[in-house]
Structures are given as structure tokens and as C-alpha cells.
Amino acid sequence: MHNRVKLELEEAVDWNSMYPESEVYSGIHNMHTGLPNGSFLPSDGSMTYMNNGVPGPVNSIQNNIGSLGSMTQSMGASLPPTAPSSAYPVNYCHGESGFQRDPRTYRRNYSHAKPPYSYISLITMAIKQSHNKMMTLNEIYQWIVDLFPYYRQNQQRWQNSIRHSLSFNDCFIKVPRSPEKPGKGSYWTLHPDSGNMFENGCYLRRQKRFRCEKTRSGDGERKTSKTVDEQSKRLREAAYNELSPTPKTGVKEDSTVPGIPQPTSASPDGLSPVSEVGSSSQLLYPLSHSEGYLGLSAEDAQLKQDTLSGRHPFSITQLMSVEQDSSYSSKMDMCLTNDHLPQYPNYTSDYNHAVMKNGQDTQSSLDVNYYANMYSRPILSSL
């Protein structure tokens, strides 16, 4: 997967026919949905990703997160009316979902197109959105499956790739389970210094591969357990120590590990200022393609301005910064426990399900306090 949209559709797509000029992204927000006009969201709630190069789930992330508050303002959009909670979760994409499509607006369902994200991107997104900024392999699987129907098929194939990516890439760190939380598989988190992998806003392909120096040997590529450098070793030990009240033998309890930035924030809650998050533009599509995305005319200067400034609604900066809002989880909790749960029949996706499910799973499977802030600060601040 590279700086292009890799579409794996069953049939060729005439993109031109899919996007009337009137729907070409203008950078002007749709005031009803809070999404850009160009998001081409069908009004029937069918899956939308690929229509604009941005996965529907991410649109829904946008919606979902935006509905939580802080996104709203930046989007300059009103929120859809609250729908009854029975609308959740909505299987946004499957033909068998029972959705009654409006023939006037129905164009095509891209639910099973391959998302334009590399596995590394998916893993990164999954981990970043997780409550504790780390996930087990299975949770990553589940997050992906919940979000992208495409991955409900050929699971052996892509899951192997996921495992390969986790092991192969330095940006992912395996964190052993604590003795108090036995189970299968370790947790995976992001290397504290890996935050700029998707700098310049491309979640399709990293600008530069994150590499942990000294980790490489031989062909200079492989991350091998035999050649794990001291830093990585310490990283893991430190992570373990943060996870476990009983430090690993031989590891100093208060070890200040090189490579693991220590909290420096003077914030009352100990969290780093979120503002750092927005320091770089993180888009979900490549601006490097001057001709636009998917053949669309994306030369709109305003769009670029917005995206580069982090104001673009699809900007990862936006998406992540809101998630990282310290109030986010509490808002999510609120959403889970009252009728204010944002339900948008037209836009609800499995993301809602995924996030909440994940949140619930995470909260149930992890001691939130126990794992609190594990790596989150350095990761977030480096985004």
C-alpha cells in the first residue's frame, strides 16, 4: 500500500460516474452532517469509505468524536439529531443489514473495498484510539474487523500480515502482561518515538519508516529477538514495570529509561498538553498527490489550508486530538450510559460499536488505573 488508493473491488469502478461535479470536495463543511460536502455520505447510512478516500468508519469517527464536543466547534457544524439508542450499533455496510436504501441517493456500497490504509496504519490507529494506548493482538484484530468489513474475509491472510507488521516494525513494542492480568498474548503499544511516522498527513504510507537504531543487524532490516538492542530491552522492561507493581527482576523500579520520555507536564492530571498533538498536519489522504485524490480535483487552496492547519475535519490531528482529550473517555462513558449517545442513523458505523466495545472490553479486561497513561503521553505528544 502506498500513496495511492488501493482498491480491491470485485469490478472496475468508473469513478467519474461516482462523483458528480457537484459533489467534488469543496472543503466547505456540510452543515447538516458536520462532514465535508465531499464526503459523499449516502443518506441511507450505507458504508461510505472509499467514496472520498476516507473510510466511512473514519467519517464516523469524525461524527462520533465531533458529537462529543470539541470537534464540533472546529468543524463548524451542527450535529445530527440524536437518535434512539436502539439505532446502535448499526451495521452500516452490509447488504444484509436491513437498511432500506433510498434509490434516489443510493449509488454504491463500497463496504467491501479494501480500506486505503496500510496495516501499520491500522494498527497505529487502533492502538492510538484504545483507552490505554495499547492493545492485544486480538483486540487489534477485532478493532479492524469491527471497523472495516473488508477484513471479515480472508482473515488468515491479513491477520498474518498484522502479526508480521507488529513483529517486523520497530514502531510497535510488545508489552508483557502483568502477572495480575494473565492471558494470552502480550499488549502492543507504539514506540514513544514513532509518533511522526505519518507526518505530513498520510495514513496510507509512512513518510519514513520508524527505526529504532541498533535494532538492526545483518541486512539492516530485521527486528530480531536475538538482536534487540538495549534500548528496546529497557523499553520493554520499563513498560513491564509500569504494568506490574512487582518490577521484573533486575529492573530498577524507578528506572528512567532512555527512550521512554518521562512525564514532564505540569498539568494537574499529569497529562501532557494536548496542544502538541495538533502541531502537525495529519491527514487521511495524501496531499502529496497534487492532482487530487481519486482523480478528484483537490487543488482547492482552502482545503489545503485547512488540512495543513489541522482544521480539516478528516485530519488525524483532529481525530486524535479529540480522542486524546482527557475528557474524552468520560464523555464516552456518559454516552454509554445515557440517552445522549449520539446515534446517527445516516452515519453511524461500526466505529461506534468498535470504539465503545473496545472501550468496554478494555475497561473490563484491564485495570484502567493500573495501566493508566502507559506510554500515552509520549505517543500523544509526538503525534
Which residues in this chain contact DNA in the complex, by CB under 7 A?
1-4, 117-120, 136-138, 141, 154, 156-158, 160-161, 163-169, 174, 182-186, 188, 205-206, 208-209, 218, 222-227, 288
- Compare residues 209 and 252 and give the one whose CB is closer to DNA: 209
Helix, strand or coil for residue 299? coil
- Compare residues 25 and 151 and give the one whose CB is closer to DNA: 151
Smallest separation, CB 134 to DNA (Å): 11
- Compare residues 171 and 277 and give the one whose CB is closer to DNA: 171
- Give yes or no for a contact between 66 and 331, defined as CB atoms under 8 angstroms apart: no
Smallest separation, CB 21 to DNA (Å): 25
Smallest separation, CB 264 to DNA (Å): 29
Cα torsion at 47, 48, 50, 56 (round to 10°)?
-90
Distance CA 27, CA 236 (A): 43
Helix, strand or coil for residue 175? strand
The dihedral through the CA atoms of 347, 353, 358, 360 has a sign that is: positive
Distance CA 331, CA 327 (A): 6
Smallest separation, CB 219 to DNA (Å): 7
Q: 166: which residues sit within 8 A by CB, 6+ positions away?
A: 123, 137, 140, 172, 174, 188
- Compare residues 1 and 83 and give the one whose CB is closer to DNA: 1
Distance CA 61, CA 54 (A): 11
- Compare residues 65 and 298 and give the one whose CB is closer to DNA: 298
- Compare residues 2 and 252 and give the one whose CB is closer to DNA: 2
Smallest separation, CB 101 to DNA (Å): 29
The torsion region of residue 200 among left (phi > 0), alpha (psi -120 to 50) and beta comes to left
Q: How many CA atoms lie within 13 A of 130 on its CB side?
A: 36
Cα torsion at 197, 203, 207, 210 (round to 10°)?
30
Smallest separation, CB 209 to DNA (Å): 3
User: Rounded to whole angstroms, what are the CA distances from 246 to 186, 209, 223, 242, 270?
Assistant: 17, 34, 28, 9, 23
- Compare residues 110 and 117 and give the one whose CB is closer to DNA: 117
- Compare residues 75 and 166 and give the one whose CB is closer to DNA: 166
- Compare residues 51 and 118 and give the one whose CB is closer to DNA: 118
Smallest separation, CB 46 to DNA (Å): 24
Smallest separation, CB 12 to DNA (Å): 15
- Give yes or no for a contact between 204 and 285, defined as CB atoms under 8 angstroms apart: yes
Smallest separation, CB 162 to DNA (Å): 8
Q: 378: which residues sit within 8 A by CB, 6+ positions away?
A: 192, 193, 195, 260, 261
